[in-house]
Amino acid sequence: MGKFKVVHYINQFFAGIGGEEKADHRPEVREEVLGPGLALKAGFKDEAEIVATIICGDSYFGENIEEAKKEVLEMVKKYNPDLFIAGPAFNAGRYGVACGTIADAVQNELGIPSLTAMYEENPGADMFKKSVYIVSTKDSAAGMRDAVKKIVPLALKLVKGEEIGSPDEEGYLSRGIRKNFFTDKRGSERAVDMLIKKLKGEEFETEFPMPDFDRVPPNPAVKDITKATIAIVTSGGAVPKGNPDHIESSSAQKYGKYDIEGINDLTPENGETAHGGYDPVYANEDLDRVIPVDVLRDLEREGKIGKLHRYYYSTVGNGTAVANAKKFAAEFSKELVADGVDAVILTST
pLDDT of residue 211: 67
Q: Which one of 3.40.50.720, 3.40.50.2300, 1.10.3720.10, 1.10.260.40 gives the CATH number of domain 4-170?
A: 3.40.50.2300
233-265 residues labelled b (16+ CB within 10 A) or e (exposed):
bbbbbbbbeeeebebbbbbbbebbebebeebee
Residue 248's pLDDT band (boundaries 50, 70, 90)?
A: confident
Percentage of the chain modeled with pLDDT above 90? 68
Q: Domain boundaries in the chain?
A: 4-170, 225-347
Whole-angstrom distance, CA of residue 293 vs CA of residue 174: 43
- Range in 37-41, 150-154, 181-185 with the lowest mean pLDDT: 181-185
Residues 6 or more apart whose Cβ sits within 8 Å of residue 273: 236, 237, 238, 239, 280, 283, 284, 287, 290
At 300-342, the pLDDT tens digits run 999 999 999 999 999 998 877 777 888 899 999 999 999 999 9
Find the DSSP H helices in 201-320: 281-285, 293-301
- Range in 23-37, 193-207, 219-233, 328-342 with the lowest mean pLDDT: 193-207
CA distances from 336 to 185, 233, 296, 315 (A): 56, 10, 17, 16
Residue 1 has pLDDT above 60, yes or no: no
At 85-104, the pLDDT tens digits run 998 999 888 899 999 999 99
Residues 6 or more apart whose Cβ sits within 8 Å of residue 141: 90
Task: Characterise 208 by phi-psi region: left (phi > 0), alpha (psi -120 to 50), beta (else).
Answer: beta
At 35-84, the pLDDT tens digits run 999 999 999 998 999 999 999 999 899 888 899 999 999 999 999 999 99
Residues 6 or more apart whose Cβ sits within 8 Å of residue 208: none
* Average pLDDT value for the chain: 91
Residue 289 has pLDDT above 80, yes or no: yes
pLDDT of residue 98: 93
